[in-house]
A and B are shown apart, each in its own frame.
Chain A
Amino acid sequence: MSIPTLQGLQTALSGLIASQQALDIAGHNIANANTEGYSRERVVLETNPPITIPAASPLTGKGAQLGTGVAVADYVRIRNLYLDAQYRAQNSSLSSASTQAEELEQAQSAFNEPSSSGLSSQLSAFWSAWSSLASSPTSEAAKEGVVSAATQLTTTFNQLSAQLTTIANQAGEQYTSLTGATGQVQDYANQIAQLNGQIRVAEGAGQQPNDLLDRRDLLLDKLSSLAQITVTKQADGTDTVTFGDAAKPLVEGTTVQWPQALTKAAGGQLGALLGLSGEGGTLAAYRTALDGVAATLAGAVNALHTATPFFTGATAATIAVAVKPSEVQTSSTGAPGGNDVALAIAALRGGAADQSYSALVEQVGSDVMTAKDNKTNQQTLVTAVGDQRQSVSGVSLDEEMTNLITFQRGYQASARTLTAMDQMLETLIQHTGQVGL
């Protein structure tokens, strides 16, 4: 039994084609070496179906199978889905931690402690002014001093309270803009839904839409920084995405369900913003604590300053000085030289108001410290998982260079095979039957 004369040409050709495709893929990888979210691709080569030659050996009569070259079976996208899920979970936590750290740091700088201009210094100056007044109770200048120290103190209370409110409001506005009709959530969800549709069509046609999958995965990564997401792969190639603690899936097939209500349990940037800005949020708690300091201060001073209330307002936003310098009371009897009231008020230094304020500063400080530590830890985790992902999916130029050489050589060798076949046939066609001429 003989083999087809031109089979060798076909075999060599298949080698040429396979090498060329492999070179193309290496080129694609190199071109996208720095593309965000790109996963490297690899050709899967398979041998072509062999030709069966019955009774190939005239001696034994055994048959044989003749290889017919190579074909590209698939372009595989090298990606670990488990690492993707892990990356997104950590990325949500990172985004939550860094949002918290950022917002709380703003609150911390509003407190401006420890410094010579923070509320603690104003409080201290207020008590000192009362001490001075106690030493010279008839001095108009000392009374002016008390009122001006008190006015600075109340102004600082008002400003600090306003700053905390502003920070909380800004966090709320940020949430609204991210979740709004033109916000990032809607935008990402729309793109994912669109890609779901395209991927479904491509996979339905039996194609492997590697680059569409990469783009969808990249969008899911970005979406994960806004809230915790879970991604469920469907048989038709679409991804179903649940978002934070929203009741319905954000993306299902090509349908987007947005807006939906979230709570601070949503995780990610949105969860953190809700946890900070909402009622009972961290910033509101700071404001409440500051109100407590203001109320304690006003209560304690007013209880001693019996002639007329010294402070009005019992919140940090509303506290104000209610007396003129001439109305500042120094003694309980009204005698000009008496200083028992001034002494008693000066003795409030280090009392409940001071203590609750320094406890608040400690609270803010430790919240910021925790948030920063969380951020650093999460950053390390995200970097670690990201590195693992890169290790699997990233393009290595060294590797691609090696592939280029490998397949270039393969191409050259296939071409040489073709030449050999050609020369063989030339011998057969041109030189056969010309003996003795």
Chain B
Amino acid sequence: MSDRITPAMLTSSTLNDINGALAALQRSTSELSSGKAILEPSDNPYGASHAIDLQSQLDGLSSYTSAVQDGISWVTTAGSAMASMHEISERVRELLVQSSNGTINQTDLNNMGAEVEQLAESIKQVANTQYAGQYVFSGTQTSTAPYKQGPEADEYQGNAGTISRAIGPGATIVVNTNISTLLGNGAGSADGKLLDTLRTIAQHMRGGTAEDKAALGSTDLKALDGNLETLTQLQATAGSVTNQLQTAASRIENLQAAITKSLSGTMDADIAKTTINYSNEQAAYQAALRAGANIVQESLLNFLH
């Protein structure tokens, strides 16, 4: 402190104090009114850049959430389609078991064969299930139906491409099922897949020879059981994908909660603390004003006559 105090010093220091108090008050006011502790990067450079990263992570998580929800819908659609296929195949198996019973006459066998042909068409129809305008069983050829209708058109029209959904940073999961591993390319290809099996069964039912009848009960049943096993495996895979997606959804939810909390801790003003600061600063400002008003007025002049 200087020895000699002049009114100009007093005025300028009072003014500085009042300005300082007002600046602090203004800062608290904007923190309170915006609810943010970081209004611009210079308030907390690391915090600001951290907040930018966290915000982008949060946006990413909500993208993952919608991708996961979309994936779940996709797999559910495919899953219920495969459940229908399973039901239809079970019906075929019933017919097959009945047909291999030696007492059944050829007319009934012919009817059964016609029904099996019908059921084969139903399976192809189910295979043409769409989700949001996309064929779920066409691989990546989602705008092409995987199977055409008609007994002579059992060729798989899709490809073996995979469709994935991002379920987290760097984590993707394949949501589509390659249905051609189950259905195959029909009788022409003799690939032993479901469509081939169904066409063979129908043919054997209508054939009427002893070999045909024998095949119904032995090789055909065996082939159909093999196909059913494949279908069950596909269904199990789809089920496990659904589980993984649901796990991912709940993990993302937890992450969202954690990151939101961290973002709020970085960005948001501590309202209780700021309110107390605000009251203190208001008191300080008023005191500075009062002191200024009292001190600056006084001088020897007030007391000389």
Contact = CB atoms under 8 A, between A and B. Distances in A.
Interface stretch (A16-24, A123-131, A300-308, A422-430): A123-131
B171 to A, nearest CB: 9
B40 A109 contact: yes
Given A131-B67, A339-B163, A138 B143 contact: yes
Interface stretch (A274-282, A345-353, A410-418): A345-353
Q: How large is the interface on B (under 10, 10 to 19, 20 to 34, 35 or more residues)?
A: 35 or more
Contacts of B46: 362, 366
12 contacts: A114-B267, A124-B60, A131-B66, A132-B63, A135-B71, A136-B70, A335-B159, A337-B134, A339-B163, A369-B43, A387-B13, A396-B7
Contact of B163 (A124, A337, A397): A337
A362 B45 contact: yes
A391 B45 CA distance: 40
Contact of A138 (B6, B133, B164): B133
Interface string B48-70: 11111101110110111011001
Contacts of A136: 70, 132, 134
A244 to B, nearest CB: 28
A33 interface: yes
A86 B7 CA distance: 22
Interface stretch (B221-229, B237-245, B297-305): B297-305
B48 A114 contact: yes
B166 A346 contact: yes
B4 A361 contact: no
Given A338-B163, A396-B5, A397-B300, A358 B45 contact: no
A135 B165 contact: yes
Interface in B155-187: 159, 161, 163-166, 169-170, 172
Contact of A120 (B56, B66, B133, B139): B56
Nearest to B8: A394
Given A138-B142, A364-B41, A368-B42, A386 B56 contact: no
B197 interface: no
B9 interface: yes
A276 B169 CA distance: 40
Given A331-B140, A346-B63, A391-B4, A365 B304 contact: no
A111 B6 contact: no
A325 to B, nearest CB: 17
A336 B142 contact: yes
Interface of A: 33-34, 105, 108-109, 111, 113-114, 120-121, 123-125, 127-128, 131-132, 134-138, 331, 333, 335-340, 343, 346-347, 349-350, 354-355, 357-359, 361-369, 372, 383, 386-388, 390-392, 394-398, 401-402, 405
Interface centre among B44, B56, B70, B71 (most CB of A within 10 A): B56
Given A138-B142, A387-B13, A365 B169 contact: no
A135 B173 CA distance: 12
Contact of A401 (B3, B166, B300): B300
Interface in B284-305: 299-301, 304
Contact of A123 (B9, B56, B141): B56
A361 B52 contact: yes
Contacts of B172: 343
Contacts of B132: 136
A349 B60 contact: yes
A113 B48 contact: yes
Q: Which 3 A-B pairs have the closest CB atoms?
A: A365-B41, A337-B142, A365-B45
Contact of B55 (A121, A362, A395): A121
A340 B133 CA distance: 19
Interface in B59-99: 59-60, 62-64, 66-67, 70-71
Interface in B1-39: 2-9, 12-13, 16, 38
A114 B164 contact: no
B52 A395 contact: no
Contacts of B2: 387-388, 390-391
Contact of B56 (A333, A349, A401): A349
B138 interface: yes
B163 A394 contact: no
Nearest to B142: A337
A136 B60 CA distance: 17
Contacts of B8: 33-34, 390, 394-395
B59 A134 contact: no
Interface centre among B2, B8, B60 (most CB of A within 10 A): B8
B161 A335 contact: yes
Interface centre among B38, B52, B66, B159 (most CB of A within 10 A): B52
A22 to B, nearest CB: 17
A355 B67 CA distance: 24
A383 B16 contact: yes
Given A33-B7, A335-B159, A398-B299, A124 B166 contact: no
A105 B42 contact: yes
Contacts of A394: 4, 6-9
Interface in B114-164: 132-135, 138-143, 159, 161, 163-164
Given A346-B166, A394-B4, 17 more contacts: A33-B8, A114-B51, A114-B267, A124-B59, A136-B134, A335-B161, A337-B139, A337-B163, A343-B164, A343-B166, A355-B53, A358-B52, A362-B46, A364-B41, A387-B2, A391-B4, A391-B6
